[in-house]
Amino acid sequence: QVQLVQSGAEVKKPGASVKVSCKASGYTFTSYGISWVRQAPGQGLEWMGWISAYNGNTNYAQKLQGRVTMTTDTSTSTAYMELRSLRSDDTAVYYCARVRSIAVYDAFDIWGQGTMVTVSS
Amino acid sequence: EIVMTQSPATLSVSPGERATLSCRASQSVSSNLAWYQQKPGQAPRLLIYGASTRATGIPARFSGSGSGTEFTLTISSLQSEDFAVYYCQQYNNWWTFGQGTKVEIK
């Protein structure tokens, strides 16, 4: 079945970096984009950015520009999200999600299970 | 950035009753609007895309309407499994989410 499986929970110190993986299966990875969304404890959903699995094009939310990098490895059908210079307010569950169609802009139809990232000294 | 505003923040409804959730965009998003359901400890689930098209496997009691800047999600007869948080999302210009509406048992 179509699914996205994310890497496990992480605990990081302020100033460190974290890299979360998202492995796709059940569909042609390069035919869809992947977006990353995060959710701080008790809060709503925040879109972080998008990457085309076809050509690697990216677009990041303005507030994260310079701290986030999204990449893909088409040989393993895996997407990655790296966030640097972590702060306490980066503590959140991080989700990857598939963009529903080949169009750049569409809804997110498949979601990963989420990865908890805790930033604490 | 397009700002999405949902109302109300919390909606108290009895099982079997109708629930109506609203979502407003700060500028037109055409019909590029999706609704998601999220239960505690779970990832969001796509309910509606294109403002009114149900995603695969979504029951017919969920319906979406609207275009431009005003959108509505209606749950015709609430079931116990429908108590959750609902988010709208625009995808006309990148993506932004509303702050969510919690549907709770009255």
Q: Are strands B101-105 and B10-13 parallel, antiparallel or unpaired?
A: parallel
Amino acid at B84: A
> Of A82, A43, A47, A81, nearest to A61 (Cα)?
A47
Identify the DSSP state of B18.
Answer: -
Pick among B91, B93, B99, B101 to test the A interface (most A CBs inside 10 A):
B91
B100 and A45 within 8 Å at the Cβ level: the answer is yes
Tens-digit pLDDT string for chain B (106 aa): 999 999 999 999 999 999 999 999 999 999 999 999 999 999 999 999 999 999 999 999 999 999 999 999 999 999 999 999 999 999 999 999 999 999 999 8
